[in-house]
């Protein structure tokens, strides 16, 4: 099996007998064993369970049965998505031994479609971060340059796919946590519309913002994967009953006649030069394909960071209150004379890392008496304005195109100041705030300090317009070669420290 097969290539090989699901899974496990000591994409793998599932797929194919559209496809699961195999730790000491009694709906639907989960990928603790450095189990490294971050918080999933350790992975996106690492690792990442995919089994961070989505090597794989996991779920009252179309149908339909909006705020001189170059190139590609490029105005882009970092920490403060050492999570050992309050404080101090503690404190402050209206209430008002701003922009265009991240992957430890880290998500946050859908795809490369680093292009569409989103992304993918280039893992192993 190739290190970078698509789903269609792999499933065709498994169904035809040219390979087996067992060989596909064993190949992934072998590559993880070889390369993950440097990259640290996986917190844990499940060789016995994965190979047993693969053998069952092979048995069903041999018996003439149809195991589903993902027959034998190995898939990695982000560590904040519940599985009944292994543990679900959310990158945190607070939950490092937690075993879920149920699987997330998205995971269950993948398994029902024939996919084979192979392990949990590292992430920023409770999905709070943009670099996968804030992980209790060590930082994940970028396969293009192990001295750099893969992005976050779904950095383990993105790096694993980019490195060919697995063909596809699940991540979660609360403010860019699928798209930003996809951009920094040179792959495809999709943030579905809010409600398109069930959040049941996704450990809550910001409940009005969170969405599960795919990280893949190509647009068609992302479309197929989303089609499997999307749809109404009785376990999640926020999941939508919008019909789930066949996202592969019409995927190669030309974009001639479509209007693509470029916000004037996105071509910012503060962006890395390679980012603005990639945006200009993408616009030229679409013009050559017959699309019309129009300017749109999203003046509230610069307020997204402030708005998000009130709403998301406020929801996190509420969601993470349950981890007190009594009902959920790590329980500290009390010293003589300490009381219940000491147990709460010690358990949370031991279980939560600095970034999670910071966001809980911000959220608690924003929700406190006397400050609720000034901060949280005001943030909700700006959220409505951001959503209305997108509505006005989409009245002038069919989709919005821009950068995914203002910079390529940065060095490990380079952004110790939280604010500089938060600003990396300036182009992705408002997508979640408005609840619309977006995709990041390879847009080019930056040559930085001797390293070749991917740069991502983001496309945004109105809520539940993923069909058009995939079509527009696919036309760019067909016209350029950026997504076909892969990192040199032999060189990466030599550079890792």
Active site residues: 78, 153, 177
Alpha-carbon dihedral of residues 1, 56, 26, 37, nearest 10 degrees?
Answer: 120
Secondary structure (DSSP) of 174-241: SSSTTHHHHHHHTSEEEEPPTTSB--TTBPPSSTTT-EEEEEESSHHHHHHHHHHHBS--TT-TTS--
Short-list 326, 48, 1, 20, CA closest to 167 = 1
Q: How many CA atoms lie within 13 A of 79 on its CB side?
A: 35
Q: Specify which residues 399 forms β-bridges with.
A: 260
Phi, psi at 360, each rounded to 5°: -60, -45
Residues contacting 199, CB < 8 A, separation 6+: 207, 210, 211, 212, 236, 238, 239
Q: Which helix (H) or strand (E) holds 456?
A: strand 451-461
Q: Which helix (H) or strand (E) holds 260?
A: strand 259-263
Q: How many CA atoms lie within 13 A of 99 on its CB side?
A: 4
Strand pairing category for 451-461 and 259-263: unpaired
Whole-angstrom distance, CA of residue 415 vs CA of residue 275: 19
Whole-angstrom distance, CA of residue 37 vs CA of residue 43: 11
Q: Which two tokens stand for residue 287?
A: 């013009």
Whole-angstrom distance, CA of residue 348 vs CA of residue 329: 9
**In the 8-state DSSP scheme, what is residue 373?**
I
Other residues' Cβ atoms within 10 Å of the Cβ of residue 6: 18
Q: Which helix (H) or strand (E) holds 478?
A: helix 466-479
The answer, yes or no, to whether the previous bond of 153 is cis (omega within 30 of 0) is yes
Whole-angstrom distance, CA of residue 175 vs CA of residue 312: 9
Question: How many degrees, rounded to 5, is the angle at CA 392 between CA 433 and CA 405?
Answer: 45
Q: Which two tokens stand for residue 87?
A: 């543990």
Phi, psi at 329, each rounded to 5°: 85, -175
């Amino acid at each position: 099996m190739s290190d970078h097969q698509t789903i269609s290539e792999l499933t065709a090989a498994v169904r035809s007998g040219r390979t087996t699901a067992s060989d596909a899974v064993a190949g992934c496990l072998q590559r993880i064993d070889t390369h993950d000591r440097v990259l640290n994409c996986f917190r844990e793998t499940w060789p016995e369970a994965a190979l047993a599932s693969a053998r069952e797929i092979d048995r069903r194919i041999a018996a003439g049965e149809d195991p589903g559209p993902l027959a034998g496809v190995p898939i990695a699961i982000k560590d904040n998505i519940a599985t009944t195999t292994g543990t679900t730790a959310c990158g945190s000491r607070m939950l490092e031994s937690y075993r879920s009694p149920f699987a997330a709906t998205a995971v269950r639907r993948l398994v029902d479609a024939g996919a084979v989960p192979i392990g949990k990928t590292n992430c920023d603790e409770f999905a709070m971060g943009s670099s996968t450095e804030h992980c209790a189990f060590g930082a994940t490294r970028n396969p293009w340059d192990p001295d750099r971050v893969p992005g976050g918080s779904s950095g383990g999933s993105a790096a694993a796919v980019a490195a060919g350790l697995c063909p596809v992975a699940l991540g979660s996106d609360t403010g860019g946590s699928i798209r930003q690492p996809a951009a920094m690792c040179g792959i495809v990442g999709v943030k579905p519309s809010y409600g398109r995919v069930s959040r049941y089994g996704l450990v809550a961070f910001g409940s009005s913002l969170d969405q599960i989505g795919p990280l893949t090597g190509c647009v068609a794989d992302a479309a197929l994967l989303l089609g499997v996991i999307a749809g109404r779920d009785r376990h999640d009252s926020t999941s939508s009953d919008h019909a789930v179309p066949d996202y592969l149908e019409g995927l190669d339909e030309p974009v001639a006649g479509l209007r693509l909006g470029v916000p004037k705020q996105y071509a910012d001189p503060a962006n890395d030069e390679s980012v603005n170059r990639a945006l200009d190139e993408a616009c030229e590609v679409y013009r050559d394909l017959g699309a019309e490029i129009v300017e749109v105005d999203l003046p509230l882009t610069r307020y997204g960071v402030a708005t998000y970092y009130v709403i998301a920490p406020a929801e996190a403060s509420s969601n993470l209150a349950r981890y007190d050492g009594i009902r959920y999570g790590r329980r500290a050992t009390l010293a003589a004379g300490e009381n219940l309050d000491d147990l709460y404080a010690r358990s949370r101090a031991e279980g939560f890392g600095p970034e999670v503690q910071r966001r809980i404190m911000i959220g608690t402050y924003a929700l406190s008496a006397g400050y609720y209206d000034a901060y949280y209430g005001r943030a909700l008002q700006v959220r409505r304005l951001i959503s209305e701003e997108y509505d006005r922009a989409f009245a002038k265009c069919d989709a919005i195109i821009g950068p995914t991240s203002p910079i390529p992957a940065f060095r490990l430890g380079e952004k110790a100041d939280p604010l500089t880290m938060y600003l990396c998500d300036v182009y992705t946050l408002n997508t979640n705030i408005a609840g619309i859908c977006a995709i990041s795809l390879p847009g080019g490369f930056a040559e930085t300090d001797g390293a070749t680093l991917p740069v991502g292009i983001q496309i945004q569409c109105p809520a539940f317009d993923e069909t058009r989103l995939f079509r527009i992304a696919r036309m760019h993918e067909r016209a350029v070669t950026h997504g076909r280039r892969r990192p040199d893992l032999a060189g990466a192993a030599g550079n890792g420290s």
